């Protein structure tokens, strides 16, 4: 079993060093580490290349956001490095030493194929991080819940890129994250796409720290970034195969309630209103571009992305 970690980095070199330190300290040694540097203005790429973990650094010519970074990194891990499992995280994700081993133990114990597994995500003070706390899969049967519990896990419908272990067979079958999302909802769309008919597990024994500056959920005031929340959520609800018709209706209602809470709690509602209206316009009038178009200037990395999204992976799609 060949496992590659993919870390997307942007302008947080000190946190990146801590993340790489944590990867080097895993009790289950990684077979490869890929750092995707999103055209950082600091020396993130240099410190990653010089780190003892031996990371391969992919320096992108421009910032492609988390969505583009993970698409490039996953494609490279699967196509070029022949990874069987890809462990995804941002540069502010600090895994505890047994985080990977616990994910693998749950995967091994579960009686059936697992598309992805996610860790328990805590803030630096040990509290569960509200930004990355999953809920049990709606409609999960008693048998599904029991099987997951026997594996030390919980069945889920979606997961976060803050420690997501993905089976490469699922990547070949479903393709990559949508790079045009740039930020926000990219992990929701991607994990929900893999788990619409696949199995996803939340593993509480696998713990990582998400060292965000503030402790808060996704309905905190995002300012101009509210554009991406609205546009990407509409893209997901209207254009993605990740949700069933019933789920689209339920998630639309949940999104409208969350947006209302965000607006009520904002200190600058004019900014939020403008960003939200632009997001609604673009979410309704156009869809996301193909990954190969969004990432067209990445040289050989573009070819790896296109091969996976088009089902031309050199090892073929999942059986």
Q: Summarize pLDDT for 127-141 with one digit per residue, the tens.
A: 999 888 888 999 999
The reported pLDDT for the residue numbered 116 is 98
CA–CA dist 265, 262 (Å, integer): 5
The reported pLDDT for the residue numbered 286 is 96
Query: Does residue 235 or residue 126 have the better pLDDT?
Result: 235
Residue 316 scores a pLDDT above 70: no
Residue 96 scores a pLDDT above 80: yes
pLDDT digits (tens, 9 = 90+) for 166-217: 999 999 999 999 999 999 999 999 999 999 999 999 999 999 999 998 876 6
pLDDT digits (tens, 9 = 90+) for 33-49: 999 999 999 999 999 99
pLDDT digits (tens, 9 = 90+) for 277-312: 999 999 999 999 999 999 999 999 999 999 999 876
Of 75, 77, 82, residue with least CA distance to 295:
75
Residue 218 scores a pLDDT above 60: no
CA–CA dist 292, 300 (Å, integer): 11
The superfamily in CATH containing domain 3-309 is: Spore Coat Polysaccharide Biosynthesis Protein SpsA; Chain A (3.90.550.10)
The reported pLDDT for the residue numbered 267 is 87
291: three-class secondary structure by DSSP: helix
Region of 55 (left: φ > 0; alpha: ψ -120 to 50; beta: rest) is beta
What's the mean per-residue pLDDT of the chain?
Answer: 94
- For the chain, where are the alpha helices, taking DSSP H only? 13-24, 44-50, 65-79, 99-109, 142-150, 168-174, 186-195, 226-239, 245-265, 269-285, 291-294, 300-309
Q: Where are the domains of the chain?
A: 3-309
pLDDT digits (tens, 9 = 90+) for 234-245: 999 999 999 999
Query: Does residue 4 or residue 314 have the better pLDDT?
Result: 4
């Amino acid at each position: 079993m060949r496992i590659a970690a993919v870390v997307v980095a942007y302008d947080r070199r000190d946190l990146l060093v801590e993340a790489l330190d944590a990867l080097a300290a895993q009790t289950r040694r990684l077979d490869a580490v890929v750092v995707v540097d999103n055209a950082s203005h600091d020396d993130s790429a240099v410190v990653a290349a010089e780190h003892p973990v031996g990371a391969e650094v992919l320096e992108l010519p421009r910032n492609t956001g988390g969505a583009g970074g993970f698409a490039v990194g996953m494609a490279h891990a699967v196509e070029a490095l022949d990874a069987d499992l890809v462990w995804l995280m941002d540069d502010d994700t600090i895994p505890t030493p047994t985080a990977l081993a616990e994910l693998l133990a749950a995967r091994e114990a579960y009686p059936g194929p697992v598309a992805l597994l996610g860790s328990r995500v805590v803030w630096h003070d040990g509290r569960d991080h509200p930004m990355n706390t999953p809920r049990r899969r709606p409609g999960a049967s008693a048998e599904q819940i029991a099987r997951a519990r026997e594996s030390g896990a919980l069945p889920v419908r979606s997961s976060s890129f803050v420690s997501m272990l993905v089976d490469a067979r699922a990547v070949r079958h479903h393709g990559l994250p949508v790079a045009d999302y740039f930020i926000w909802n990219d992990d929701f769309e991607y994990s929900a796409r893999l788990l619409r008919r696949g199995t996803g597990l939340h593993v509480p024994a696998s713990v990582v720290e998400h060292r965000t500056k503030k402790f808060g959920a996704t309905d905190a005031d995002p300012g101009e970034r509210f554009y991406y929340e609205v546009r990407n959520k509409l893209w997901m609800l209207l254009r993605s195969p990740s949700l069933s018709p019933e789920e689209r209706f339920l998630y639309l209602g949940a999104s409208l309630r969350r947006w209302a809470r965000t607006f009520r709690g904002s200190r600058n509602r004019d900014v939020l209103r403008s960003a939200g209206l632009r997001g609604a316009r673009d979410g309704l009038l156009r869809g996301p571009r193909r990954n190969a178009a969004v990432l067209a200037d990445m040289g050989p990395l573009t070819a790896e992305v296109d091969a996976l999204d088009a089902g031309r992976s050199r090892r073929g799609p999942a059986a």
